[in-house]
Chains A and B, each alone.
Chain A
């Protein structure tokens, strides 16, 4: 038997590495097939979500399930804000291991000198361009984790972003992770899920209703002649009532959102602090405005691109990356300052699809890497600290020359969900992942 089994092992691949992976693949296939068999035999969605766990098979379930009740113990207040840094932020420039000889050797032209860093924790420092956020760091409303990734994230923008937003490696998980979060949070108001900036992100895609994509709340209005707005909205609402069809539900949500938005727009908005120029800051301002308006925002997303620094990262004072970090920081600082006390109700997480290579490339830039930094802002933090494992930058600790993925992004997000939103059943939000607490949240 053993000999035959070995022969079969050999047939799985030309090398043991391949063979091992293929075996794992067979295992997952068998599990998925078993899951489908169970499913075909009358396993209902409710019992499934209530009980079972484990394996990517869960994902196939989540693609079609829709939980219409909130899990017990879930908090009914508080806003999760996800800031997606598109392109791959270089963690080692934002959260810098001070005086690390490997870093200095690998980046002779672009490493941030230790003397310029803002103090952080555990031998790390923040890039000086993040000065606007340093007050929040010192007051315990900001924290960071280095070397964050997951084994499923590759160096491809498309794949890594897609994986990150679905919160799973297997493509059988088709909903975005935030859609699953909304399912756990239960029903809410028209504004419970907003995407500030044009497009519904993949992380929000799924069957949960009522997601608003706003591209500037000031422009979220129906174009009507002056004085006819209310009558038009009334007519639209009536035209979408009494029809049992998705169009009617969508139309009603839209009318509700337009009506609410109108009130909010008419109130005008005087932010507590001045926001800087730029699309990113104005999108954050819209989120702050809605959070403060008390319209029940539970999940908000916003993205900012321009992190794909293959060339010309630049120097600490005037380089491109420094300026972009300054824009990011000023926007976030304004957002946090504008929220004021409400910042304690907000859980803001900044993620990026991957970090960048340790070694600078031939153009003074950085190519795609793996482990990156995650920044946390808001309430409930063990703030002013750097959390998670730091494997260092010695050659043996790197992953193909990149910062290793010592901390899993799903652990960060799951902890936020658990500690801040009372969502303890994180296995349904991140199927196929075993959650390990990092201690970033109290």
Chain B
């Protein structure tokens, strides 16, 4: 083995002493020659086989013995526990296999206490340890529970080793620090003109300036695009105010960061608390005020006329899992697709927009893809009974419900986890994604223990079932939670206690607060805001509505104007709403209308619940860069504006504005105010006038602009004014 650093002249002697000690401990001979490698027993269909011969279930070959012994007594790993041939698209318990494969192949797996790993690479790894200087013994995991018949993947802990995914994307867009070689530092203005020796592409993130904005509640003129690098001259206004309206007013006084968007609080509210403004919603907000509209949205008693239409169109929505099982074999019934389409339809047309925004947030936080093979009957209940039921409730309730969901148990392999062979997948994702987060301060031991606690939670006949005999008993410790976990029957309750602990953990509060801030405010939200939301979360016992109230009373949300982009699905929804496309009649039309847009989004891998891994869609601009998506999105906006699909009836372009102004410039302003709620900055206004072949004062003969209005409207939607929110 390689010399890993000397620790003195008697290094060789020390090494030899350690080697003998290890050999004695493990029962190896000091001068044993390298043994020939043996087959690993591989179990298929309940039978072990070696060299092509099948043997009765449960018997394996013990090294050095002619007899077959019982696996459960010896703790031999059954690799087929980790077979995942037929489960594509999920992160399974693959790590064990890959670990053993990493040890170089055909090692006979150990047999119990007098462990004999005949594998050369395992030995080499131990020898590396032998060569460690005495002053640095291997680190001991102080919280490690003495293992008992557990198997673990042995994968290196990545906790905290890589940044939060969204933060990683954001960081990837930052310019490199300036160096002496004169490459561009990316605070350039127009793309491709980075200062310095021109090999860099301009990478500055939003460092332009802004000028004045409208301070009334009507449409303003927008800010000029960045023409330099003047920084803000006054500190941003922060903190909460007694009402959302007060917060909105306070934000108006602040100097916003550069953005194309004009500050109109009513519009901004509908961009953030809804999937984009409609004419009706805008009129309502202006009439009743921001506060009243928000309270109405947070009122869970409000009925939504869309509910009935959806119930008619998608009959499986209300069915229980058992009822769905009864429809199996009927290929015309696709419960997963119905559930996903219905959720998407709500984003487009529900009157309870804030509820749908929050449902979308939770569905992404506890991401489970759909459609998903072998998940036909379980997704409906997941979305309805776990996500929707608790979306405006408490996260701790949602978390506990998610841990009793057949869909979650299947998706993250907890259904396969049992005390003889624990599958860590769900335990890990619970900590890494659902609760405390990748920087939450958990260790591999916590992951193991969480997995122990969750053993026994499984599935039978597509329903959640807790199986006591699979539950691992014994003392457990997951971060600050510990329990003697003495009985199998009590394991479910221990799990609920652990989940309650995790849901109320400060790191969970910060994790969820941060994700909410990224969703509602900006890609890099201010730390103070995140802390404020986390505190509200904890003070309210993980209830989400108080956090939303704090959010909308925070000035940061209102001054975060234009700091978010619309993800493709949101962009499509905002386009539908901007064009005044009503929900099609219930039944085939509604289904087809939603389906055609859903299919378009699938082409660019941006459809709701299409993201496969459990971490959900990224939520920052840097992650959504794709020319293919851009072109498909532009074409979709064009198709919607032109009424390409019978079921989706947009307001005709020439009817978007009541009475067109007398000049082209005036009409253009009316159109942009109608579609993106403001007049465009002069440069962009001119670009569109050039497109029309007109000037500001060209007279308008009719609302169709000689047929060009149908080409102008898509351009306005293709612009960044519609892509920002």
Q: Using Cβ atoms and an 8 Å threshold, which residues of chain B touch A225?
A: 710-711
Structural contact, B109 and A17, CB atoms closer than 8 A: yes
Most B CB contacts (10 A, CB to CB) among A207, A241, A248 go to: A207
Q: Can you list 16 A-B contacts (CB < 8 A)?
A: A5-B137, A13-B152, A20-B123, A29-B157, A151-B102, A156-B97, A158-B92, A172-B158, A198-B628, A223-B638, A232-B715, A234-B690, A239-B715, A242-B226, A249-B202, A398-B105
Q: How far is the CB of B147 from chain A (nearest CB, A)?
A: 5
In chain B between 144 and 200, which residues have their CB closer than 8 angstroms to a CB of chain A? 144, 146-152, 154-158, 160-163, 165, 168-169, 171-173, 176-177, 179, 183-184, 188-191, 199-200
Q: Using Cβ atoms and an 8 Å threshold, which residues of chain B touch A12?
A: 138, 141, 144
The listed residue (A19, A245, A370) touching B206 by CB distance below 8 A is A245
Structural contact, A16 and B26, CB atoms closer than 8 A: yes
Q: How far is the CB of A29 from chain B (nearest CB, A)?
A: 5
Q: Using Cβ atoms and an 8 Å threshold, which residues of chain B touch A22?
A: 152, 154
Structural contact, B225 and A9, CB atoms closer than 8 A: no
Knowing A6-B22, A60-B161, say if A248 contacts B191 (CB, 8 Å).
yes
Residue of B nearest to A66 (CB): B172
Q: Using Cβ atoms and an 8 Å threshold, which residues of chain A touch B173?
A: 207, 246
- Does B532 interact with chain A (Cβ within 8 Å)? no
Structural contact, B605 and A56, CB atoms closer than 8 A: no
Most B CB contacts (10 A, CB to CB) among A17, A66, A199 go to: A17
- Does B427 interact with chain A (Cβ within 8 Å)? no
CA distance A14 to B176 in the complex (A): 47
Structural contact, B628 and A212, CB atoms closer than 8 A: yes
Apart from A153-B98, A159-B91, A243-B260: 16 A-B pairs, beta carbons within 8 A: A3-B21, A9-B138, A14-B115, A14-B148, A16-B117, A17-B119, A45-B177, A154-B94, A215-B628, A223-B639, A224-B711, A235-B715, A239-B688, A359-B52, A400-B106, A404-B105
- Does B627 interact with chain A (Cβ within 8 Å)? yes
Structural contact, B147 and A14, CB atoms closer than 8 A: yes
CA distance A5 to B134 in the complex (A): 10
Knowing A60-B161, A64-B171, say if A157 contacts B88 (CB, 8 Å).
yes
Selected interface stretch from B78-86, B293-301, B656-664: B78-86
- Does A238 interact with chain B (Cβ within 8 Å)? yes
Structural contact, B154 and A18, CB atoms closer than 8 A: yes
- Does A174 interact with chain B (Cβ within 8 Å)? yes
Selected interface stretch from A253-261, A267-275, A282-290: A253-261
The listed residue (B102, B202, B227) touching A21 by CB distance below 8 A is B102
Residue of A nearest to B113 (CB): A14
Q: Using Cβ atoms and an 8 Å threshold, which residues of chain A touch B709?
A: none
The listed residue (B42, B101, B165) touching A154 by CB distance below 8 A is B101
Selected interface stretch from B242-250, B618-626, B694-702: B618-626
Q: How far is the CB of B3 from chain A (nearest CB, A)?
A: 16
Q: Using Cβ atoms and an 8 Å threshold, which residues of chain A touch B52?
A: 359
Knowing A1-B137, A66-B172, A152-B102, say if A235 contacts B97 (CB, 8 Å).
no
Structural contact, A171 and B158, CB atoms closer than 8 A: yes
Q: Using Cβ atoms and an 8 Å threshold, which residues of chain B touch A158?
A: 88-92, 612
Residue of A nearest to B24 (CB): A6
Q: Using Cβ atoms and an 8 Å threshold, which residues of chain A touch B109?
A: 15, 17
Q: Using Cβ atoms and an 8 Å threshold, which residues of chain A touch B155?
A: 25
Q: How far is the CB of A87 from chain B (nearest CB, A)?
A: 9
- Does A296 interact with chain B (Cβ within 8 Å)? no
- Does B125 interact with chain A (Cβ within 8 Å)? yes
Most A CB contacts (10 A, CB to CB) among B119, B205, B631, B715 go to: B631
Knowing A29-B157, A250-B627, say if A20 contacts B125 (CB, 8 Å).
yes
In chain B between 552 and 608, which residues have their CB closer than 8 angstroms to a CB of chain A? 565, 603, 605
Q: Using Cβ atoms and an 8 Å threshold, which residues of chain A touch B323?
A: none
Q: How far is the CB of B575 from chain A (nearest CB, A)?
A: 14
Structural contact, B117 and A45, CB atoms closer than 8 A: no
Q: How far is the CB of B229 from chain A (nearest CB, A)?
A: 9
- Does A93 interact with chain B (Cβ within 8 Å)? no
- Does A422 interact with chain B (Cβ within 8 Å)? no
Knowing A46-B176, A401-B42, say if A222 contacts B634 (CB, 8 Å).
yes
Q: How far is the CB of A238 from chain B (nearest CB, A)?
A: 3
Q: Using Cβ atoms and an 8 Å threshold, which residues of chain B touch A399?
A: 101, 105-106
- Does B46 interact with chain A (Cβ within 8 Å)? no
Selected interface stretch from B352-360, B454-462, B646-654, B717-725: B717-725
Q: How far is the CB of B438 from chain A (nearest CB, A)?
A: 11
Q: Using Cβ atoms and an 8 Å threshold, which residues of chain A touch B157?
A: 25, 29
Total contacting residues, chain A, CB less than 8 A? 114
Structural contact, A215 and B84, CB atoms closer than 8 A: no
Q: Using Cβ atoms and an 8 Å threshold, which residues of chain A touch B85?
A: 155, 310, 367-368
Q: Using Cβ atoms and an 8 Å threshold, which residues of chain A touch B158?
A: 32, 170-172
- Does A434 interact with chain B (Cβ within 8 Å)? no
- Does B207 interact with chain A (Cβ within 8 Å)? yes
Q: Using Cβ atoms and an 8 Å threshold, which residues of chain A touch B140?
A: 8, 11
Q: Using Cβ atoms and an 8 Å threshold, which residues of chain B touch A232?
A: 691, 711, 715
Total contacting residues, chain B, CB less than 8 A? 133
CA distance A359 to B51 in the complex (A): 11
The listed residue (A18, A59, A245) touching B152 by CB distance below 8 A is A18
Q: How far is the CB of B715 from chain A (nearest CB, A)?
A: 6
Structural contact, B628 and A155, CB atoms closer than 8 A: no
Residue of B nearest to A235 (CB): B691
Knowing A17-B119, A171-B162, A247-B621, say if A234 contacts B225 (CB, 8 Å).
no
Most A CB contacts (10 A, CB to CB) among B92, B184, B202 go to: B92
Knowing A5-B138, A207-B172, A396-B37, say if A23 contacts B156 (CB, 8 Å).
no
Q: Using Cβ atoms and an 8 Å threshold, which residues of chain B touch A14?
A: 75, 115, 147-150
Structural contact, A66 and B176, CB atoms closer than 8 A: yes
- Does B129 interact with chain A (Cβ within 8 Å)? yes
Q: Using Cβ atoms and an 8 Å threshold, which residues of chain A touch B42?
A: 400-401
Q: Using Cβ atoms and an 8 Å threshold, which residues of chain B touch A242?
A: 189-190, 225-227, 683
Structural contact, A174 and B101, CB atoms closer than 8 A: no
- Does B99 interact with chain A (Cβ within 8 Å)? yes
Q: Using Cβ atoms and an 8 Å threshold, which residues of chain A touch B148?
A: 14
- Does B396 interact with chain A (Cβ within 8 Å)? no
Structural contact, B90 and A209, CB atoms closer than 8 A: no
Structural contact, A17 and B107, CB atoms closer than 8 A: yes
Q: How far is the CB of A25 from chain B (nearest CB, A)?
A: 4
CA distance A215 to B627 in the complex (A): 12
- Does B635 interact with chain A (Cβ within 8 Å)? yes
Knowing A5-B137, A244-B258, say if A254 contacts B631 (CB, 8 Å).
yes
CA distance A396 to B179 in the complex (A): 55
CA distance A401 to B97 in the complex (A): 13
CA distance A258 to B104 in the complex (A): 50
Structural contact, B152 and A238, CB atoms closer than 8 A: no
Structural contact, B125 and A21, CB atoms closer than 8 A: yes
Knowing A153-B98, A396-B37, say if A243 contacts B627 (CB, 8 Å).
no
Residue-by-residue, is A161-200 near B (CB-CB < 8 Å gives 1, otherwise 0)? 0000000011110100000000000110000000000111
- Does B122 interact with chain A (Cβ within 8 Å)? yes
Structural contact, B626 and A200, CB atoms closer than 8 A: yes
Q: How far is the CB of B641 from chain A (nearest CB, A)?
A: 11
Residue-by-residue, is B392-417 near A (CB-CB < 8 Å gives 1, otherwise 0)? 00000000000000000000000000
CA distance A398 to B106 in the complex (A): 7
- Does B68 interact with chain A (Cβ within 8 Å)? no
Knowing A46-B179, A68-B200, A395-B39, say if A239 contacts B719 (CB, 8 Å).
yes
In chain A between 1 and 55, which residues have their CB closer than 8 angstroms to a CB of chain B? 1-6, 8-9, 11-30, 32-33, 36, 44-46
- Does B335 interact with chain A (Cβ within 8 Å)? no
Most B CB contacts (10 A, CB to CB) among A5, A27, A153, A258 go to: A5
Knowing A242-B189, A244-B206, A250-B627, say if A68 contacts B183 (CB, 8 Å).
yes
Q: Using Cβ atoms and an 8 Å threshold, which residues of chain B touch A253?
A: 627
CA distance A158 to B147 in the complex (A): 29
Residue of B nearest to A6 (CB): B25
Structural contact, B92 and A17, CB atoms closer than 8 A: no
Structural contact, B106 and A246, CB atoms closer than 8 A: no
Q: Using Cβ atoms and an 8 Å threshold, which residues of chain B touch A69?
A: 183, 199-200
